[in-house]
């Protein structure tokens, strides 16, 4: 095991060494956009003043607004934002949809349990994702195994590599634990030097490694293995097979030459942020000079220090002749460039907001529009917002939900495999997300149904048989689901068909009874006429 520890420590050292230049770039991004995280290449004290080198807070607030927008729009706590479904929607029957919605509800309860710290961890991860293009979340059972525990990790402390498919493979994360914490977590599995240590507050560096099982060789049918390594003693304190991945690493935009992603927003916004800081500094200095201009003092005329405070007095020599010029006067300042500078700063601020996609989040307004016009506006909005939401759903939300599902399944929260409906067995499922993008697409179904209803109504008034061209049940059901109806609100297709057959049979019986009654009345009338 010590040889395994040495091997993985050597791999992690190589990966961390190769990431040095990336940490330098992230440091500059953090200095301009996420000052609280600006400790990639420097060590900060708790009491350090974060933004003492900045002249304006706009880049910081713009970055914060972008991450807040993503969290609020993609993971709103007030409403469900994800659901489970089959890749082939046509194979989902009513019982399958009910089972999938039930498991979605279980996942949501586990995630939003206050002890899971889901919201805190994802809020921190959103800031990392927006600014650096990478975020690192760990999802594990809590100590009592009665819930989940989410944690965000500093991008400085984590490295990873890719497998042949371009998927994140081995993950290496640095931790610092005190000796007291190591003893509490690992007990007698700690190195003997740790168990004998007297200074329990001494910090030890621990390397956590999660790799594919074939890279370590534990005899298990599970896909991953987790190792906690005491770096100083090169000692493996724990090696555990894992059914899940432990870490979720969303990556925004990647390039083929690196396993690390980057933030398109910050790559575009960084030059504008630097420029905006310089322009703000110049405008502040110009404004200060305009309001409180520097003074010119005539040599030999001033007898005391120049006092610029309110009510201050400056002494002038009695022998000085004012006809030679004022003894003390303000320096003339050319203020004509200030309006141009303000205009240029406003333009730079707009470009910075555009670089951070802040101009893309305004939902279209559908007031006083026809269905066709609303559809065109909706498609335009989808095209604008798709570059932001699409990679986040695929790289962030989907892996996070998958990790939660796998972990809860291994913990027994998802019930018995025998309870899975027959229509779901052997089928591949996926997570679907309720975002402005998907809502716009789903609501488009409702708009289409409304539009075709008008066409059908007009066509049926001319030819009643035209109604057979459209399956009203399918179209109406899709429209109802498109506006957000829960599956439990709907009857199953089989129940609907049974109700239709029952109503048709009842209608036929009523018609038959009416015909019999009509026939009886006719016979009675005929007999009355015969009896004269």
Greater confidence (434 vs 101) lies with 101
- Could you tell me the pTM of the whole model? 0.78
Residue 203 DSSP SS3: strand
Q: How confident is the model at residue 325 (pLDDT cuts 50, 70, 90)?
A: confident
Counting beta carbons within 10 angstroms of the beta carbon of residue 324, is it exposed (0 to 12), middle (13 to 18) or buried (19 or more)?
A: exposed
Counting beta carbons within 10 angstroms of the beta carbon of residue 364, is it exposed (0 to 12), middle (13 to 18) or buried (19 or more)?
A: middle
Residue 152 DSSP SS3: strand
Residue 366 DSSP SS3: coil
Q: How confident is the model at residue 80 (pLDDT cuts 50, 70, 90)?
A: confident
What phi and psi, each to the nearest 5 degrees, are found at residue 48?
-60, 140
Q: Both tokens of residue 341?
A: 């500078």
Residues 6+ apart with CB under 8 A from 331: 293, 294, 295, 296
What is the percent of the chain where pLDDT is above 90? 45
What is the per-residue pLDDT across 372-409, written as a single tens digit (0 to 9) for each?
677 677 777 777 777 777 888 889 999 999 999 999 99
Contacts 24+ apart (CB under 8 A), 283-288: 283/338, 283/341, 283/342, 283/345, 284/55, 286/335, 286/337, 286/338, 286/341, 287/338
Q: Report how far residue 139's alpha carbon sits from residue 131's, in angstroms, rounded to the nearest whole number.
A: 22
Q: Report how far residue 173's alpha carbon sits from residue 155's, in angstroms, rounded to the nearest whole number.
A: 9
Q: Measured in whole angstroms, how far is the alpha carbon of residue 346 from the centre of its chain? A: 29
Q: What is the mean pLDDT of the chain?
A: 85
Greater confidence (364 vs 66) lies with 66
From the list 382, 378, 364, 375, the residue with the least C-alpha distance to 448 is: 375
State the virtual CA torsion across 387, 392, 393, 396 in degrees, nearest 10: 160
Greater confidence (229 vs 48) lies with 229
Q: Both tokens of residue 280?
A: 């703000």
Listed in order, strand segments (DSSP E) in 213-298 are 224-230, 235-242, 247-248, 295-297
Is residue 488 pLDDT above 70, yes or no? no
Q: Report how far residue 99's alpha carbon sits from residue 95's, in angstroms, rounded to the nearest whole number.
A: 6
Lowest pLDDT segment from 30-44, 287-301, 328-342, 475-489: 475-489
Residue 310 DSSP SS3: coil
Is residue 352 pLDDT above 90, yes or no? yes
Indicate the domain borders of the chain: 2-55+113-263, 295-330, 371-489
Q: How confident is the model at residue 281 (pLDDT cuts 50, 70, 90)?
A: very high
Residues 6+ apart with CB under 8 A from 259: 160, 161, 162, 168
Q: If you write DSSP's letter for every residue of 418-470 in order, what string do you get?
A: GGS-TTTTT--EEEEE-SHHHHHHHHHHHHHHHHHHHHHHHHHHH-GGGGGGS
Query: Euclidean distance between the first and final Cα of the chain, in Å?
Result: 116
């Amino acid at each position: 095991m010590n040889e395994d520890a040495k091997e993985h420590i050597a791999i992690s050292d190589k990966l961390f060494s190769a990431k040095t230049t990336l940490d330098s770039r992230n440091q500059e991004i953090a200095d301009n956009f996420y000052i609280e995280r600006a400790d990639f290449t420097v060590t900060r004290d708790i009491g350090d003043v974060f933004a003492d080198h900045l002249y304006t807070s706009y880049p910081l607030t713009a970055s914060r607004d972008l991450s807040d927008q993503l969290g609020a729009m993609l993971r709103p706590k007030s409403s469900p934002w994800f659901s489970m479904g089959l890749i082939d929607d046509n194979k989902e029957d009513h019982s399958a949809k009910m089972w999938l919605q039930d498991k979605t509800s279980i996942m949501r309860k586990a995630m939003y349990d206050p002890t899971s710290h889901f919201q805190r961890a994802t809020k921190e991860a959103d800031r990392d994702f927006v600014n650096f293009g990478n975020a690192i979340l760990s999802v594990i059972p809590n100590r009592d195994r009665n819930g989940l525990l989410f944690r965000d990790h500093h991008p400085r402390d984590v490295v990873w590599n890719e497998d042949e498919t371009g998927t994140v493979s081995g993950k290496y994360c640095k931790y610092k634990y005190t000796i007291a914490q190591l003893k509490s977590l690992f007990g007698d599995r700690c190195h003997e030097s740790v168990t004998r240590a007297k200074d329990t507050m001494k910090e030890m560096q621990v390397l956590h490694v999660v790799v594919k099982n074939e890279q370590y060789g534990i005899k298990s049918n599970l896909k991953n293995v987790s190792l906690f390594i005491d770096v100083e003693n090169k000692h493996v304190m724990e090696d555990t097979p894992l059914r899940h991945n432990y870490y979720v690493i969303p990556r925004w935009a990647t390039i083929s030459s690196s396993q690390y992603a980057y933030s398109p927003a910050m790559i575009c916004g960084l030059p504008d942020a630097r420029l905006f800081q310089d322009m703000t500094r110049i405008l502040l200095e110009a404004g200060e000079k305009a309001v409180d201009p520097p003074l010119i003092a005539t040599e030999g005329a001033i007898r005391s220090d120049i006092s610029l405070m309110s009510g201050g007095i400056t002494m002038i020599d009695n022998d000085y002749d004012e006809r030679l010029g004022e003894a003390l006067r303000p320096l003339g300042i050319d203020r004509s460039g200030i309006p141009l500078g303000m205009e240029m700063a406003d333009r730079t601020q707009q470009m910075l907001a555009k670089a951070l996609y802040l101009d893309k989040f305004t939902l279209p307004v559908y007031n006083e529009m026809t269905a066709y016009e609303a559809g065109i506006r909706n498609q335009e909005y989808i095209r604008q917002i798709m570059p932001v939401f699409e990679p986040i759903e695929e790289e962030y939300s989907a892996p996070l939900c998958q990790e939660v599902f796998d972990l809860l399944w291994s913990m027994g929260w998802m019930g018995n495999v025998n309870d899975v409906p027959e229509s779901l067995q052997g089928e591949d499922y996926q997570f679907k997300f309720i975002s402005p993008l998907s809502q716009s697409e789903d609501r488009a179904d409702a708009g289409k149904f409304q539009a075709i209803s008008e066409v059908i109504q007009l066509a049926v008034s001319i030819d009643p048989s035209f109604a057979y061209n459209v399956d009203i049940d399918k179209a109406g059901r899709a429209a109802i689901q498109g506006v957000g109806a829960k599956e439990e609100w709907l009857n199953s297709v089989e129940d609907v068909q049974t109700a239709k057959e029952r109503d048709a049979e009842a209608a036929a019986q009523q018609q038959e009874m009416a015909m019999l009654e009509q026939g009886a009345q006719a016979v009675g009338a005929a007999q009355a006429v015969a009896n004269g």
